[in-house]
Structure 1
Amino acid sequence: MTDRILMSQAQVSEVEERYVLDALRSGWVAPLGPHVDAFEREVAERVGVDHALALSSGTAALHLALLHLGARPGTKVVLSSMTFAATANAVVYTGAEPVFVDGVADDGNVDPELMLTAVRTLQAEGETVVAAIPVDLFGRAVDYSVLEPGLADLGVPLLEDAAEALGAHVGGRAAGSFGTAAALSFNGNKIMTTSGGGMLLSNDAELVDHARKLSTQSREPVPWYEHTEVGYNYRLSNVLAALGRGQLERLDGMIERRRAIRDRYVDALGDLRVRFPGRDAAGRADDGDNCWLTTMVVDQTVVEERRSGLETTPADKIVDTMSAADIEVRHLWKPMHLQPVFAHCRAFTTGVSEDLFRRGVTLPSGPALTDDQIDRVIDHLTRVLTTAE
């Protein structure tokens, strides 16, 4: 009986244990405390922004930023279609309507020109677009060279969903530093974790101060509990922030291990009619990618079959076969415009994200994986990719 190989299991060392023990022994076990303050400073410094707010999730960070930017019923928010549902959910929390935009074939990240076209189209129709949310997918930052100035010219704030991209960079800037504000996630499977948690980043002090107030139930600064607007219980605890400080201290090493795992996949599988987003035409790694999850896109003709008269996509076949071998492999994000809950929403599509969903999977990528486990993944993938149906 072999142990199941997981996609991205958290790795905790003595470094994190030391930080958490310090928090417990200090007595700061209730929400907030010195580790929260230090964690915010350290992440802000790492990303290169002025302000950071530690929160209970990346979703909370998006929600609070959108509220400050004026998202409400009757407004629109343009966002990447290929993303986890949390991005779109945060928009719906505010009462605003999400409008989805397709990606580019290279890596699935949002198509910058198409996002700008979507904004222009909505504005020409008299709609109020309060924000645009590009998502940095699987640890690879969006190309902001066109998108950031383009949105600024249109008067639409850019809210970067960098939940998957801490430690990545593009154009000499860190993921999380673009636009008006950005959200990070420290969920259990992310590049680093606080068990559950997230952070709002911005150079806008007013935005972060407003979000801080909202995140602590919107209490007014008076001696009693006074509230003039609805608030939320969104702050990160001191104990979890201590865990995050330990993870942040080891972040570069964890990224390097994930990069080494990706290199092994590429070296072993690169000749089997597959491609790895985040690699250039010569197969070299993009050092700006944090390698959170290694994604693999297979040729359309690989491992397709028909079952009970219904087509099984290449991704379906890989996921099913690997699961039977106790190896966790997942589909890429199912585009939001294909999700039943958002079927009524408007979308600007080209078919790219739908095609990537059919043919793309994410592979086990966690830094705790051993070389023997990676060999096992490669062995089973090779069989799947080379066995005729």
Structure 2
Amino acid sequence: MENKKIWLSSPHMGGGEMKYIQQAFDENWIAPLGPNVNGFEHDLESFLDEEVYVAVLSSGTAAIHLSLVLLDVKPGDFVICQSLTFSASANPIVYMGATPIFVDSEKDTWNLCPKAVEEAILYGIAQGKKPKAIIAVSLYGMPYQVDEINALSKRYDIPVIEDSAEALGSTYKNRKCGTFGDLCVLSFNGNKIITTSGGGALILKDPAFKKKAVFLSTQAKDDAPHYEHTNIGYNYRMSNICAGVGRGQMEVLADRVAQRRANHERYKLLFANQPHFSLHQEPSSDYFSNHWLSIVTVSENSRISADEIRKMAQKQNIETRPIWKPMHLQPIFNDTLYFGGHYAEQCFKTGLCLPSGSNLTDQDFEKIEQLFSKIFTLS
């Protein structure tokens, strides 16, 4: 019998993507402009349902980088960033020659700890360098503490870059992630809730900012008959073909959110009444997570660790992964400023990402449940 691999989060096509791709080929719109680019941006703007302006780009990383460019971040500037995140949240800070200040997570959402953020702000002010931006991540689809972070942003006049790369379809107080920051970022990488193969989006509140973002993302070519450049530009625009995939994916976004949330409900039943296992979930009804990935933490009192579970799953051809290793623990950032306690480190030590794709089958879940039935006897 074939031992089919159960992936952590694999691409899930909806069936409508090819009509947009075929249209691009039929009309020879193959470049990083065209009807699909415009249409995908419009689809996202309609979904977000607020007065926002979307520029689709080659990646979420590119969107964070352009956000920092638009905020005029300079070499030596401080930028606050959540430590418990993927490196793409932080790397663009270094692209700019700026200095990241990493902060700990709070226990409810695992996102920016407001107390640690304020400590980092006050440190920067004391050094004569008020931070130029706060990068706020909605980790694994869970919205951050929006009210608290936005209050700090307003109090100290520091813009927020909302990194909702993992949170398309999530909401906080019935408002969609991707609308809370001064600038907001989405990702459409192959493992995300919807995909364009590779891609991202920058969401802006000002049409002039969108115009500038598109200008910079297409090599900053000035309006001249020859190639004239008065700004440094980037090759960051999404192709019309990839945007066609995105248009097809938008048709099934609501289903993908529902499917991932159904996965989470199934895990909730699996871990019920298991004292050594805790499923990460919304702290209150204000939060609605897309549950891009479902995460379980394993008690330190358990006789089996998260990493031992990962190895057992690997032997069964089931992909699980440790949660993101905090940035302040990464070798490349080992001398970087950090504020807060040790909660992010604790999450990394005890957390495990579970298979969460919207294309998981009942048979896949039966195999996962059989594995954990054995694990429970060892815990």
TM-score range, shorter chain: over 0.9
Alpha-carbon distance in 2 for matches of 1:114, 1:49: 31
Change (3 A) 1:218 1:165: same
Where does 1:343-382 land on structure 2 (aligned, <5 Å)? 343-382=334-373
Alpha-carbon distance in 2 for matches of 1:49, 1:77: 27
Deviation at 1:207, TM superposition (A): 2.5
SS in 1 for 2:131: strand
Alpha-carbon distance in 1 for matches of 2:282, 2:296: 11
SS in 2 for 1:23: helix
Equivalent residues of 2:109, 2:283 under 8 A apart = no
1:327 paired residue number: 318
2:25 paired residue number: 24
Q: Alignment RMSD, CA only? A: 1.5
Alpha-carbon distance in 1 for matches of 2:91, 2:372: 34
Deviation at 1:327, TM superposition (A): 0.4
1:37 paired residue number: 38
Equivalent residues of 2:142, 2:282 under 8 A apart = no
Once the two structures are overlaid, the 10-residue window that deviates more, 157-166 or 36-45, is: 36-45
**Number of residue pairs matched?**
376
Q: TM-score, normalised by structure 2?
A: 0.96
Q: Give, as a single letter, the amino acid of the residue that structure 1 aligns with 2:375.
A: V
1:125 paired residue number: 127
SS in 1 for 2:231: coil
1:198 paired residue number: 200
1:289 paired residue number: 289
Alpha-carbon distance in 2 for matches of 1:113, 1:21: 51
- Identity over aligned residues, as a percent? 38
Where does 1:71-86 land on structure 2 (aligned, <5 Å)? 71-86=73-88
Equivalent residues of 2:216, 2:232 under 8 A apart = yes
Alpha-carbon distance in 1 for matches of 2:22, 2:373: 44
Instruction: Decide which of 164, 167, 176 is 1:165's aligned counterpart.
Output: 167
1:308 paired residue number: none
Change (3 A) 1:20 1:355: same
1:300 paired residue number: 300
SS in 1 for 2:356: coil
Alpha-carbon distance in 2 for matches of 1:82, 1:186: 20
1:89 paired residue number: 91
Alpha-carbon distance in 2 for matches of 1:3, 1:379: 15
CA offsets 1:34-76 (integer angstroms, 9 cap, x no match):
1101111111221224210000000000001101112121101
Alpha-carbon distance in 1 for matches of 2:224, 2:283: 57
Equivalent residues of 2:282, 2:288 under 8 A apart = no
Equivalent residues of 1:64, 1:211 under 8 A apart = yes
Q: Which runs of 4+ in 1 moved over 6 A?
A: none
Alpha-carbon distance in 1 for matches of 2:376, 2:104: 28
Where does 1:1-389 land on structure 2 (aligned, <5 Å)? 1-47=2-48, 48-272=50-274, 273-280=276-283, 288-304=288-304, 314-388=305-379
Deviation at 1:287, TM superposition (A): 6.4
Deviation at 1:190, TM superposition (A): 0.3
Equivalent residues of 1:278, 1:286 under 8 A apart = no
CA offsets 1:93-117 (integer angstroms, 9 cap, x no match):
1111111000012231111222122
Any unmatched runs of 5+ in structure 1? 305-313
Any unmatched runs of 5+ in structure 2? none
Q: Give, as a single letter, the amino acid of the residue that structure 2 aligns with 1:215.
A: S
Alpha-carbon distance in 2 for matches of 1:201, 1:71: 18
SS in 2 for 1:128: coil
Alpha-carbon distance in 2 for matches of 1:96, 1:49: 31
Alpha-carbon distance in 2 for matches of 1:33, 1:376: 44
Alpha-carbon distance in 2 for matches of 1:199, 1:280: 28
Q: Give, as a single letter, the amino acid of the residue that structure 2 aligns with 1:375.
A: E
Deviation at 1:325, TM superposition (A): 1.0
Alpha-carbon distance in 2 for matches of 1:19, 1:70: 36
Q: TM-score, normalised by structure 1?
A: 0.93
Deviation at 1:280, TM superposition (A): 4.7
